[in-house]
Structure 1
Amino acid sequence: MLTAAAVAVAIALSALACWFLVRDRLYDQVRNSLRGAPPVLVGPQQRFIACADNARTALERAVAATAADPDIRRNPQGNRWDVQLVAADGSVCFPLSSERAIKSSPSDLSVLGTHDTTFRDGEYLDGSPAMVRRSAVNLTVDGVNRQYVQLVAEGVTDVQESLRELAFVLLGVAAVGVVGAGFTGRIVARSALKPVDQLTDAVEHIARTEEVGTTIPVNGSDEIARLSTSFNSMSTALLNSRERQTRLIADAGHELRTPLTSLRTNVDLLIRSDDTGRPLPPATRSKLLGNMKAQMQELTLLIGDLLQLSRPDSPKPGQNLAVVALHEIAGRAVERARLRGPGLAFDVSVHPWYVHGDAAALERAVINLLDNAVKYSPPGGTVDVALTGGRLTVRDHGPGIPQDELPYVFDRFWRSPSSRQLPGSGLGLSIVAQTVRDTGGEVTLGPAADGGPGALATLQLPGQPTPPQ
């Protein structure tokens, strides 16, 4: 309806402009024709034969005089123009070439004493429309020289008929255009909004079935296509988020099952020994309790890692974001790593670097990298830690990481087949990757740059070497 209304307004304005333009052109042609009318002369070329107080009587006298004198040549100009003279006292005179009288107006006398030529809409005595040219002339009529207003008229009946027919044609074209625009607009609107209907159906389907991942076809590159593309991206992102959530729950359940099963077995053994009255030997009991403590610590670490991973991928307003001295965090993490690897040597070279982030999360990320280095370093090995220009590197001299396993090192719960017998949940590097992304940096893990043994972890964090003011 809006399209039809807009088209109707446009057609109406165009039709009006066309009609007025044609009208002005046609009347301009009539005025140009009147400008070319020859002047009225007195003498052998043109005789004034009738004058009277009013136009009707003067015309009747002219017609009667012309009929009585067959020597007078009628219609020397083919009746294209009708001419009459109006004196200041209101008397009217006609030349022989005139057959119709023009209704005069008091305003016609305004051109007396001037050299102006003006035009006005007028009519004949019989009511026919005409265009009238007015000008002042000095003529001698019946031996008397006086100034007259010369009225030269040309009928515009054909012009008005043409304009009337044009108006009907334009009205018909406008009506057809509005109806056509209505049907066309409806078809175009339904076609253009079809993706919106599909989008609505998809949203209703997801709301009804909770089946995220539903997409709709995208055609073109307009706003509707952009909306469809955005919806498909959102739906796919929701599907991926649900899949990650499902996988996280499944992986967490799998990882929790092993220590819980071991704890249950040990607890059952202790209970059975007490119920049967056959207590375990002190050494066995002490070893069993030590295993249970280790399993509880493993559970505690695993639950902490899961809580860390449950944070959103991007920081929210209100989190503990502040300017953090990364070199101080690295120093504290190295001291904790020394306690966990008492037989290892640490080659540390850190320079001041300040970043904007969560201090606790960054410290945990650095500790996770150092824990990996300690875990895979050979006895008596060396761990190299360097921080220069926002680039923190941690290198061990252990067996390294096979090339085919590098794409998976930051996946949650992924552990190398060769290290499954070592403690850990496979979440440490995932936490490192998430923390670095939240801080706006990058993390990589690969073979040592010099081609030697071991793995090299690199953190690149945005910041500056001096604390901001």
Structure 2
Amino acid sequence: MKRLAGWYGGRSLRSRLAMLTAAAVAVAIALSALACWFIVRDRLYGQVRQTLSDTRPPGGPNGVSLSCEPTAAAALAGANKVGTHPFPNRFDVQYVKAGDDVCFPYGAERIIRTDPSDLSATGVSIRDGSYSDGTPALVKRSPAQVQSGPNVKSYTVLIAVPVDTVQSSLQQLALLLAGVAALGVVGAGVTGRLVARSALKPVDQLTNAVEHIARTEEVGTTIPVRGDDELARLSSSFNSMSTALANSRERQIRLIADAGHELRTPLTSLRTNVDLLIRSNDTGRPLPEATRTKLLGNMKAQMQELTVLIGDLLQLSRPETSRPEREHTVVALHEIVHRAVERARLRGPGLQFALVVDPWYVRGDGPGLERAVINLLDNAVKYSPPGGTVQLALQDGRLTVRDHGPGIPPDELQYVFDRFWRSPSSRQLPGSGLGLSIVAQAVQDAGGEVSLGPAQDGGPGTVATVRLPGQATAP
């Protein structure tokens, strides 16, 4: 059994499907053939029994001539016939009586083998029997009164009909059904093979696509989808997965390229300053104290810029999908806003902050949301004019941050949340171009949405709007 299971398990899916199809068809044909054979057998034997039941003994109780001599049986055994057969070519009749010889009507042709139960038969019945030469037959037995001289004797009359032709027909039918079943199984195997090849064609395409990706690492390969069955759903799922992998790789490549580009400038400046300090030491010509202090200050600022850039990159290295629910907690957004404003005051000491903050509780990542609010305020501080005002409001889950700076041109609004994108007019200002990308990711993780646009009152500046689902009271 284990060997058979191992042999079956080692076959291809196409072969196993063809084998299962052939096996199912074989079972169905075998059951149908058996049912057909039994039905035909019952019908044929039923017709013989019905005909035999309708047959009456010849000549009536007093009108039959019997030969009860021992030589009668011998004559029959020698195939000698006398007279006319009472049932030509159909039935054979004989009479039996306890203690007497078997009696035959004149013209009888064959001897019916008697059974001990025939002598005690009281009613009409039909049993399986045979002739003396072994030919199978159905035998009807019934009581009969026969006039013999002045006396009336009781006999059991046996009427038999051969069923060898019925059995021969059933054997031929069995051979015919076996041949049809064999042809059906072979045809089912061939058809199952063709059906399996056609049905599993999408699987072959999927396998080829997976092998191609594994060999060439070219993600994004798709296969055609036909229909709406399970294989079509599998193909669609594979295409979606392949497209998602391609997009993920493209984002990774773009992130690496952009990060390399952004890191090149501060690293080049650092290397230039370090080379200048080393050259001054090697030549024995120390730099003036003011120049040296300025160089060290620039190096410190560049190191801080690198630190911020690397932190932003780490923040964005997370997948662009929502965090699992188990990492989200209930966060008091109004408290986060107050902490972010305190930090923003330190970065813009000459600015005014107008606050309207109502309680609002959301479910999300607390540090990520705090980083998002800080980035929005940093942008507002960076682009606000000296002595300007930053307006911040949190009402009914809607957080708005407005500055009164130069604003963003309308044709650039579609790029503000892209990684490393910076407006041409603000590239001289410090920053990595990742702040708003971090804002968008944190807000999306919390199930909210963020937008950036011009002030609604037509005045100068830009308004950042964040909408987060939550409630005004602590849960």
Q: TM-score range by the shorter chain?
A: 0.7 to 0.9
Query: Which residue number in structure 2 is paired with residue 83 of structure 1?
Result: 93
The 1:185–1:320 alpha-carbon spacing in structure 2 relative to 1, beyond 3 Å, is closer
Normalised by the size of structure 2, how large is the TM-score?
Answer: 0.82
SS of residue in 2 equivalent to 1:429: helix
Aligned twin of 1:299: 306
Q: Which residue of 2 aligns with 1:139?
A: 145
SS of the aligned residue for 1:258 comes to helix
Identity of aligned residues (%): 71
SS in 1 for 2:301: helix
Asked whether the equivalents of residues 86 and 150 of structure 1 are also in contact (C-alpha less than 8 Å), the reply is yes
**Take 1:97 and 1:381, find their aligned partners in 2: how far apart are those partners?**
138
Q: Counterpart of 1:173? A: 180
Q: Does 1:12 align with 2:30?
A: yes
Alignment match, 1:70: none
Whether 2:40 is the aligned partner of 1:22: answer: yes
Which one of the candidate residues 364, 377, 381 is aligned to 1:357? 364
> Is the 2:418–2:437 Cα contact (8 Å) retained in structure 1?
yes
Q: 1:63 to 1:50 in 2, by over 3 A?
A: farther
CA separation in 2, counterparts of 1:55 and 1:307? 118
393, 402, 417: which one aligns with 1:386: 393
**Residue in 1 aligned with 2:5?**
none
Relative distance call for 1:426 and 1:124 in structure 2 (3 A) is same
Measured in 2, the distance between the counterparts of 1:137 and 1:455 equals 120
> Following the alignment from structure 1 to structure 2, what is the Cα–Cα distance between the partners of residues 406 and 58?
123
Offset of residue 125 of structure 1: 2.3
Give the conservation status (yes or no) of the 8 Å contact 2:146–2:155: no
Match of 2:258 among 233, 239, 251: 251
- Give, in angstroms, the shift of residue 308 of structure 1: 0.9
* Counterpart selection for 1:433 from 430, 437, 440: 440
Q: Which residue among 105, 112, 124 is the counterpart of 2:115?
A: 105
Letter in 2 for 1:105: D
Corresponding residue for residue 229 of structure 1: 236
Contact kept in structure 1, 2:323 and 2:445, CA below 8 Å: no
Is the 2:58–2:86 contact (alpha carbons within 8 Å) kept by the matching residues of 1?
A: no
Note the alpha carbon deviations across 1:79-107, whole angstroms, 9 max, x for none: 43333333355754444575433222234
Matches within 5 A, 1:37-436: 37-38=55-56, 40=58, 42=60, 46-51=63-68, 56=73, 66-67=82-83, 74-75=84-85, 77-89=87-99, 91-95=101-105, 98-109=108-119, 111-112=121-122, 114=123, 117-134=124-141, 136-142=142-148, 144-145=151-152, 147-272=154-279, 282-314=289-321, 321-436=328-443
- 1:363-403 Cα offsets, whole Å, 9 max, x none, are 11121122223333444444343334444333444444444
Three-state SS of the structure 2 residue aligned to 1:177 is helix
RMSD: 3.5
2:114 corresponds to which letter in structure 1? S
Q: Alpha-carbon deviation of 1:302? A: 0.5
SS in 1 for 2:170: helix
Are residues 147 and 450 of structure 1, via their aligned partners in 2, closer, same or farther at CA, if it must alter by over 3 Å?
farther
Alpha-carbon contact 1:50-1:58 (below 8 Å) kept: no
CA distance in 2, matches of 1:405, 1:247: 20
Note the alpha carbon deviations across 1:166-215, whole angstroms, 9 max, x for none: 11111111222222222333333344444444444443443344333333
- Relative to 1, partners in 2 of residues 1:84 and 1:460: Cα closer, same or farther, differing over 3 Å? farther
Please state whether the residue corresponding to 1:125 is helix, strand or coil.
coil
SS of equivalent residue, structure 2 residue 110: coil
Kindly indicate whether residue 451 of structure 2 is the aligned counterpart of residue 444 of structure 1: yes
How far did 1:252 drift? 0.5
> Secondary structure of 1:262's partner?
helix
**Structure 2: gaps (5+ residues):** 1-18
- Secondary structure of 1:347's aligned partner: strand
**Shift of the alpha carbon at 1:110?**
5.6
Structure 1 Cα separation of the partners of residues 237 and 217 of structure 2: 19
2: CA distance, partners of 1:90 / 1:9: 56
Q: 1:61 to 1:268 in 2, by over 3 A?
A: closer
Which sits farther off after the overlay, 279-288 or 412-421?
Answer: 279-288
Output the CA distance in 2 between the equivalents of 1:447 and 1:154. 110
Partner of 2:7: none
**Quick one: structure 1 residues 258 and 137, their matched pair in 2 at CA, closer, same or farther if it must change by over 3 Å?**
same
d(CA) in 2 for partners of 1:48 and 1:378?
143
Superposed displacement of residue 333, structure 1: 1.4
Q: Deviations over 1:294-326 (max 9, x none)?
A: 222211111110111122334677986433222
Q: More deviation in 22-31 or 436-445? A: 436-445
| Superposed CA offset, 1:226-247 (max 9, x none) | 4343333333322222222111
Q: Which moved more, 1:416-425 or 1:20-29?
A: 416-425
Q: Bigger shift: 439-448 or 88-97?
A: 88-97
Q: Distance in 1 between matches of 2:382 and 2:419?
A: 18
Q: Which amino acid aligns with 2:90?
A: R
Per mean C-alpha deviation after superposition, the further-off stretch among 407-416 and 77-86 is 77-86
- Is residue 138–residue 145 contact of structure 1 (8 Å, CA) maintained in 2? no
More moved, 449-458 vs 17-26? 449-458
**In the alignment, is the contact (CA less than 8 A) between 1:79 and 1:97 conserved in 2?**
no
1:140 maps to a residue whose letter is V
Whole-Å separation in 1 of the counterparts to 2:259 and 2:22: 61
Aligned mates of 1:370, 1:221 — CA distance in 2: 50
Distance 1:234 1:61, change over 3 A: closer
The Cα of 1:251 is off from its aligned counterpart by 0.4
| Residues 223, 320 of structure 1: alpha-carbon distance in 2 compared, 3 angstrom cutoff | closer
Is the Cα contact below 8 Å between 1:82 and 1:97 reproduced in 2? no
Secondary structure of 1:133's counterpart equals strand
1:120 partner SS: strand
